[in-house]
Amino acid sequence: MSEPILEIRDLRKSFDALKATDGVSLDLRPGQIHALIGPNGAGKSTLIHQIAGTLKADSGAIRFLGQDIGGLDTAARARLGLARSFQISSLAQEFSALRNVMLAVQAKAGNSFRFFRQVTSDKSLTEPAMAMLERVGLAGRAHVPAAELSHGERRQLEIAIALALSPKAFLFDEPMAGMGPESSKKLTTFLDGLRHEAPMLLVEHDMDAVFALADRISVLVYGRIIASGTVDEIRSDSEVRRAYLGEAA
């Protein structure tokens, strides 16, 4: 089996007496969509925050592309190619969708922000930015300010921004949340294609999406992974059904 892109080992994080992450280990391998499911409050977002660097783990290891990244800040992890999407606050609300992606293209190229005003028509920025918007199906909304985009369109824009950074792995925390069935279906198809670009750790409550996409599913309950396996293995695991899927096992 190929080497993992992301390796989590015995990660622990407590909030006072609450063990939100209680000895979590998992691997994300090339080409893989690894879904992380579990009930509300299980610690899924807390885990994503520790991987992205917005929360510091109490102990344990996070290795990305073979490097221990536990001591790096969020920006340094992003520069290594760890893309976290669906941070609404990361969008510049007053800027158009296109400008938002151009900022990411420019950041990737390492240019200074100061010169942004002069380069809004620079083809080396507009062309790749427009290509990203086309990929996510948002080209027709390129000139609309981020603040005026619908919920689903913002998520598409955030993916375009993540793509502009040429990520080596994606961390997605509930990308389908708040979407209607049509948009969810479209996003599912899109994420399916994205796995060949970079593997993803996908936190999602939409089980149709999880079962359609996941190569591997890990089930988190009270900060611990109680089961990890293929879709079929997880669907037929009686403990998982009792703990999470809400079926009489």
Ligand X SMILES: Nc1ncnc2c1ncn2[C@@H]1O[C@H](COP(=O)(O)OP(=O)(O)OP(=O)(O)O)[C@@H](O)[C@H]1O
- Strand (E) positions, 112-179? 169-173
Please report whether residue 40 would count as binding ligand X according to CB under 6 A: yes
183 binds ligand X (CB under 6 A): no
**Taking the C-alpha atoms of 178, 82, 186 and 175 in order, what is their torsion angle to the nearest 10 degrees?**
-10
Nearer residue to ligand X within complex by CB, 13 or 141: 13
20 binds, among Mg ion, ligand X, none (CB under 5 to 8 A by kind): ligand X
Q: How far is CA 5 from CA 95, 169, 229, in A?
A: 34, 7, 18
Q: Which of 5, 11, 34, 43 binds ligand X (CB under 6 A)?
A: 43
Return the residue of 38, 70, 167, 199 that touches ligand X, per CB under 6 A.
38
Provide the mask over 37-56, with x wherever binding to Mg ion is found by CB under 5 A and - wherever it is not. -------xx-----------
CA 206, 223, 45, 51 dihedral sign is negative
- Which one of Mg ion, ligand X, none is in contact with 41 (Cβ closer than 5 to 8 A by kind)? ligand X
Q: Judge contact between 209 and 216, C-beta under 8 A.
A: no
Say whether residue 90 binds Mg ion (CB under 5 A).
Answer: no
Residue (95 or 222) nearer to ligand X, CB:
222
**Alpha-carbon distance 122 to 145, whole Å?**
19
Backbone angles phi, psi at 130, to 5 degrees: -65, -40
Binding of residue 115 to ligand X (CB under 6 A): no
Shortest CB 121 distance to Mg ion, Å: 40
Report if residue 15 touches ligand X, rule: CB under 6 A.
yes
| CA 100 to chain centroid | 18
Alpha-carbon distance of 235 to 237, in angstroms, equals: 6
For ligand X, the closer CB: 43 or 199: 43
Q: CB under 5 to 8 A by kind: which of Mg ion, ligand X, none does 40 bind?
A: ligand X
CA atoms of 129 and 99, how far apart (whole Å): 8
Give the interface with Mg ion as residue ranges (CB under 5 A).
44-45
Give the interface with ligand X as residue ranges (CB under 6 A).
15, 18, 20, 38, 40-46
